A = this chain, B = another copy of it.
Amino acid sequence: MKPIQVGLLGFGTVGAGVAKVLVRNAEEIGRRAGRAIEVKRVGVRNIDKARTAAPSGTELSFGDDMRAVVDDPEVDIVCELIGGTELAKELVLRAIANRKHVVTANKALLAIHGNEIFAAAQKAGVMVNFEAAVAGGIPIIKALREGLTANRIEWIAGIINGTSNFILSDMRDTGASFADALAQAQKLGYAEADPTFDIEGHDAAHKLTILAAIAFGIPMQFEKAYLEGISTLSRDDIRYAEELGYRIKLLGITKRKPNGIELRVHPTLVPAKRIIANVEGVMNAVVVQGDAVGQTLYSGRGAGAEPTASAVVADLVDVTRLLTADPEHRVPHLAFQPDRLVDLPILPISEVETSYYLRLKAHDQTGVMADVTRILADLSISIDAMMQKEPAEGEKIVDIIILTHVAKEHRVDSAIARIESLPTIAGRLTKLRLENLDK
């Protein structure tokens, strides 16, 4: 089957990320979508600059006529990543008029012109997908539009601006002032030279407007959102909040009330024990309260080239599946097309690699540790941490706890057998597995 042809508008961080992910994961994506997805052409303002940003291994066709991309009869999906609300609106409406499906990451565009764009798309019979517009790679739009459809949504509260969350985390962690934390964020590339848009809540309010619309079935009403940023927040308040058991987060909150909908972005004290209070740095998180499901939380990276590309490409796959299979086979049961499952072997537990927690009971005498560590070293199992507990009053047996680095399970089992045969060891070892879950 002919690959789906994508016309990219814009080739900044996200555009380059989309091109990269489509190439790197082409096989995996094709198995899922039932069809290859290719970038047919890219419309940019500056061709030379775009060429230098193109990922190696890609041969992209760049041009500086954006309208030509939208008008190209061979383009199936227009992917709008130029940002801004004027040219983007014109191009998106033109793509829709040309009966092309649209994927966009542009929250400002949708929060401000969404009603008009969706009406046009509805009429033209095309899809406008926008998973990347809110919370980057976290599939929160899909969760709300499809995953939680049984629920009357009561409220949504989200950390939906990574820049602000980074600054607030930094102020709390290091006691920095707002100005210093902002400078740090700028140094690390998490904040723009002019950070207004992020720190004063505009970006969060765009995203919140979209969340509110799909949660409650109301039109986009960005102009009615209440905005308050973090630039006037003092270190004292962060510290006092902490003393009282709270964290301060820039939250976007939308809530159903008997007389209407609350739609507001502002610094908010949240009990420190809530999971969302512990979402730090540039991470995003959204909490949704539904009447049937209760509270669900979604967290992950809300910005950056590949996290955003993850959402954009998922939208491309969504459209591709629609254009490819019969509707009832749109999403394959096991996510991948049934004729493209692979029979990867399931590894036996002896071949599993992880870290280990080992607890041994040893007679409290010299040489035990030396024996144990030698056995581990002989089997190339390296030790991450070790702790010896004092024996209880009158006891002669001590607990020794060892954390290992990553090792194959059968090696660890061999070590355990050898350790258990030492005369200084009492009884059986306890073995538990340990996962850092860091990457």
Q: Which residues of A contact B (CB under 8 A)?
A: 17, 21, 24-25, 28-29, 31-33, 101, 114, 118-119, 121-122, 125-128, 131, 136-139, 142-152, 157, 213-219, 221, 224-226, 234, 236-237, 240-241, 243-244, 246, 248, 251, 253, 256-257, 259-264, 266-271, 274-276, 278-279, 287, 289-301, 306-307, 309-314, 316-318, 322, 326-336, 338, 340-349, 351-353, 355, 357, 359, 385, 387, 389, 399, 401, 403, 430, 432-439
**Other-chain residue from B291, B292, B322, B389 in contact with A328 (beta carbon distance below 8 A):** B322
Contact A262 B149 (CB under 8 A): no
Contact B334 A214 (CB under 8 A): yes
Contact A333 B246 (CB under 8 A): no
Contacts of A262 in B (CB 8 A): 346-347, 352-353
Knowing A143-B142, A314-B150, A432-B269, say if A259 contacts B292 (CB, 8 Å). Answer: no
Max chain B C-beta neighbours (<10 A), residue from A291, A352, A403: A352
Contact B152 A143 (CB under 8 A): no
Rounded to whole Å, the gap between the CB of A213 and the closest CB of chain B is: 5
Contacts of A310 in B (CB 8 A): 148, 150-151, 290, 292-293
Max chain B C-beta neighbours (<10 A), residue from A128, A253, A257, A347: A347
Roughly how many angstroms separate A438 CA and B287 CA in the complex, as a whole number?
A: 11
Contacts of A24 in B (CB 8 A): 152, 291
Max chain B C-beta neighbours (<10 A), residue from A139, A142, A403, A439: A139
27 contacts between A and B (CB under 8 A): A24-B152, A25-B152, A33-B149, A128-B333, A139-B148, A146-B335, A157-B435, A218-B341, A234-B430, A236-B399, A240-B401, A243-B387, A244-B401, A259-B347, A261-B345, A264-B352, A266-B433, A267-B432, A267-B433, A268-B433, A269-B355, A271-B437, A278-B278, A287-B437, A293-B300, A295-B300, A295-B437
11 other A-B residue contacts (CB within 8 Å) besides A259-B351, A269-B432: A24-B152, A142-B143, A150-B316, A218-B342, A218-B343, A244-B385, A257-B347, A293-B307, A297-B298, A322-B328, A327-B330
Contact A434 B269 (CB under 8 A): yes
Contact A226 B331 (CB under 8 A): no
Contact B246 A334 (CB under 8 A): no
Contact A28 B300 (CB under 8 A): no
Give the nearest-CB partner of A251 in chain B.
B435
Roughly how many angstroms separate A279 CA and B399 CA in the complex, as a whole number?
A: 29
Rounded to whole Å, the gap between the CB of A274 and the closest CB of chain B is: 6
Report how many copies the assembly holds.
Answer: 2
Contact A221 B346 (CB under 8 A): yes
Contact A294 B299 (CB under 8 A): no
Contacts of A327 in B (CB 8 A): 322, 327, 330
Roughly how many angstroms separate A352 CA and B251 CA in the complex, as a whole number?
A: 15
Roughly how many angstroms separate A146 CA and B240 CA in the complex, as a whole number?
A: 43
Contact B289 A294 (CB under 8 A): no
Contact A317 B150 (CB under 8 A): yes
Contact B335 A144 (CB under 8 A): yes
Contact A314 B146 (CB under 8 A): yes
Knowing A215-B335, A334-B214, A435-B270, say if A297 contacts B299 (CB, 8 Å). Answer: yes
**Other-chain residue from B148, B215, B399, B432 in contact with A268 (beta carbon distance below 8 A):** B432
Knowing A33-B149, A150-B313, A342-B217, say if A307 contacts B278 (CB, 8 Å). Answer: no
Contact B434 A246 (CB under 8 A): yes
Roughly how many angstroms separate A114 CA and B306 CA in the complex, as a whole number?
A: 33
Contact A328 B359 (CB under 8 A): no
Roughly how many angstroms separate A64 CA and B432 CA in the complex, as a whole number?
A: 47
Roughly how many angstroms separate A420 CA and B125 CA in the complex, as a whole number?
A: 58
Contact A347 B292 (CB under 8 A): no
Roughly how many angstroms separate A276 CA and B285 CA in the complex, as a whole number?
A: 13
Contacts of A151 in B (CB 8 A): 25, 28, 310
Rounded to whole Å, the gap between the CB of A155 and the closest CB of chain B is: 8
